[in-house]
Amino acid sequence: MKFLKNKQLLTILSLFFVWRIGLFLISMIAPNFLTYAPSFPYSDAILAHFDVPQWLFSWGNFDGVHYITIIDKGYAGADLIQAFFPVFPLIIKLVSLIINNILISALLVSNLFFLGFLYIWYLFVEKRYSKTTAFLSSLIILLFPTSFFFGAIYNESLFLTLVILTFWFAEKKNYLIAALFIAAASATRIVGILLVPAVLMEIIFKDYQFNEYKKRLLSAPKKLKPIVTILLGSVGLLVYMAFLQFKYGDPLYFFHVQAEFGGIRQESLVMYPQVIYRYIKILLTVRPFNLSYFSSVSELIAGIGGLIFILLSYKKVKISYLVFALLAFILPTLTGTFSSMPRYVLVSFPIFILLALWAEKSLFFKYSWFIISGILLVFNTVLFIQGIWVA
C-alpha cells in the first residue's frame, strides 16, 4: 500500500477536522431549534448518566444506547440487543479499559476509524481513478446527508473501513488477509457476509478466464484455494451464530428479534416493489409537513434513489463492488421497510464514486449536490442530536 504525500494527507486531515468540528458546533446549537425529546429507550438511564453536556452524549442516541449497554453489561444487559453484532462494542470495550469512559471511548473509536477510512478511501479511489475523483468522492462522503453517523456511536465507520480493506487485499490476491477482514466485517454487520460473493466475483472475473473456470475449476485445486480461503471469511458470522445458539438456543436470534426491535420489520420475505407500494400508501395517508412525514419521504428517496445510483454505477466500477453494493442495499428491504435506508446506503460505496465522476464533468451538478446535501446534513444532524429519528 503506497502512502499519501504530505500535502494529500494534510488535505484529508483538514477535511476530517472541519467536518468533525462543524458537526460538533451544529450539535451545540441544535437545542436552539428543537427541544431535546428522545424517541428511543434508556436515554435518561444511560446517556444522561455520563457527566458530559447533552450535545455530546447525544452522539450516542438510538443505536448508541444499545452498544453502550453491550459494552457495559454484555448481551444479557437488555432484551433484543442481540440484533447488534459484537466486533464494534468489543473494540470499544478494549479502548475503555484504558480511557475508563465508555461514551468517550466509543466516540473516539468511531471517529478514528472514520479518519482511517478517509485515508484508505483516498488511496483506493486515486489508484483506480484519479486524484480529482478521490478528493471529490471524499468530500461527497463528508457532506452526505447522513454522514454524521460516521462520527456517532454507530459501526458505520468501522464497517466501511473493513469493506474497503477487503477489496484492497482481494485485488492484490492476498486472499487470507481479505478473508480476515471479511470475518471481522461479518461479525460487525450481517451485510458483511455479502463480501463473500462479491470477492468471489472478483476472483472469477479477474483472476481466471471465465470459460476455463467453468470447465476446469472443480478439477483444479490450485484455483480452488483462493475461493476456499474467501469462504472462510464467513467464520465471523458463524462464530456469532454459535454464540447465540449456545446462549439463546437460536443461531438466527439476531434476525428473529428484528420484528420486535424494529417494530415495522417482518421476518417473512417482502419483495422490493411491495415496499415501494407500502411507502406510497404511507405518504398518501400520513399527515404531511411534519417530521414523521419527512422521515418517510427521506426513506423512500433513499430506497429508490440509492438503487438507481447503484445501477447507474454499472461500467463505472468493478463488478465485485457492484455486487456487494447491490446485495447490501437489497437485503434490508426484504424485511418490508425502507427504515434506516438513508443510513444503510452509506455502505454502498460505488454511489460516492459515481457522484464524484459526475461532479468532475459538471460544475452545476457539483455545486448543486454539495449545497443540497450540506443543508440536509445540517438538518438531519439537528434532528439526530435532539433525539428525533432520522435513519
Burial 56-74 (b: 16+ CB within 10 A, else e): bbbbbbbbbbbbbbbbeee
Q: What is the pLDDT of residue 213?
A: 46
Q: In this model, does residue 316 exceed pLDDT 90?
A: yes
User: How far, in whole angstroms, is CA 290 from its chain's centroid?
Assistant: 27
Residue 223 within any structural domain of the chain: yes
Residue 197 within any structural domain of the chain: yes
Hey, how many other C-beta atoms are within 10 angstroms of the C-beta on 137? 26
Please write the tens of the pLDDT for every residue from 10-58.
Answer: 899 999 999 999 999 999 999 999 999 898 888 888 998 899 999 999 9
Between 147-161, 165-179, 234-248, 286-300, the lowest mean confidence (pLDDT) is in 286-300
Q: In this model, does residue 222 exceed pLDDT 70?
A: no
CA distances from 81 to 64, 70, 106, 168, 384 (A): 11, 8, 17, 32, 20
Higher-scoring residue by pLDDT: 219, 274? 274
Q: Give the whole-angstrom CA distance, residue 63 versus residue 386.
A: 14
Residue 212 within any structural domain of the chain: yes
Report helix, strand or coil for 243.
Answer: helix
HSE-up (13 A, CA, CB side) for residue 120 = 19
CA distances from 61 to 41, 112, 350 (A): 9, 19, 28
Residue 63 within any structural domain of the chain: yes
Q: In this model, does residue 208 exceed pLDDT 50?
A: no
Q: Give the whole-angstrom CA distance, residue 28 versus residue 24.
A: 6
Q: In this model, does residue 216 exceed pLDDT 70?
A: no
Residue 25 within any structural domain of the chain: no
Residue 349 within any structural domain of the chain: yes
pLDDT band (50, 70, 90) for residue 232: very high
Q: In this model, does residue 217 exceed pLDDT 50?
A: no
Q: Which domain holds residue 255?
A: 6-19+51-385
pLDDT band (50, 70, 90) for residue 262: low
Between 104-118, 135-149, 239-253, 267-281, the lowest mean confidence (pLDDT) is in 267-281
Higher-scoring residue by pLDDT: 343, 284? 343
Q: Give me the number of domains the chain comprises.
A: 1
Q: Is the dihedral of CA 146, 149, 154, 155 positive or negative?
A: positive
pLDDT band (50, 70, 90) for residue 76: confident
pLDDT band (50, 70, 90) for residue 290: confident
Q: What is the pLDDT of residue 291?
A: 86
Residue 391 within any structural domain of the chain: no
pLDDT average, residue stretch 356-385: 97
Contact predicate 79/42, CB 8 Å: no
pTM over 0.85: yes
DSSP H helix total and E strand total for the chain: 20, 0
pLDDT average, residue stretch 54-73: 96
Residue 30 within any structural domain of the chain: no
Q: What is the pLDDT of residue 209?
A: 41
